[in-house]
Amino acid sequence: MHDSVTVHMAAPPEQVWELVSDVTKIGSYSPETFEAEWLEGATGPAVGAKFRGHVKRNGRGPTYWTTCTVLECVPGREFGFGVGPSDKPLNVWRYRMEPSDGGTDVTESFTLAKTAPLRLYWALLGWARGRTNREGMRTTLERMRDEVERAAP
């Protein structure tokens, strides 16, 4: 109930951080989450900040809003958020940035909570959802890479 994708970007971690931590730009990158907005007075990434994302599942639907809470926020290193209740998120998404070969290896990952309903879901449909998540993570990271490399000095 965990997977990840890593893409190398020819840009420094600080530049990549600007993309992965600005949730209001996710619609430019993600094939499923087409917009997001900070909530409760938050204006940017910080541990405990909340935002909501507007998701079109599988790029087709259903379409719904989901509330997220920032769990990890280390500029240039890691940005992570939980989906659902802030004390017991159903899914945790992370972006980790590691300097590599004059650029940055960026890893996007997800980890589903170890609840009985999610374990059953993953056992029955995990193969399909896992493939969709991997493809979505790769698409998101490649779109980010294309943007950050166009802007790199």
- CATH code of the domain in which 117 resides: 3.30.530.20
What is the amino acid identity at position 45? Answer: P
* pTM assigned to the model: 0.91
C-alpha R_g of the chain: 15
Residue among 53, 50, 32, 33 nearest 41 (CA):
50
The tokens for 13 are: 């971690």
Report pLDDT for 153: 64
Rounded Cα distance, 153 and 146, in Å: 14
Report pLDDT for 130: 79
pLDDT per residue as tens, the chain (153 positions): 889 999 999 999 999 999 999 999 999 999 999 999 999 999 999 999 999 999 987 777 789 999 999 999 999 999 999 999 999 999 999 999 999 999 999 999 999 888 888 788 778 877 777 788 899 999 999 999 999 999 866
SS3 content of the chain, % helix, strand, coil (to 5): 35, 40, 25
Structural domain total, the chain: 1
Q: For residue 146, what are the domain limits?
A: 2-151
Rounded Cα distance, 54 and 37, in Å: 9
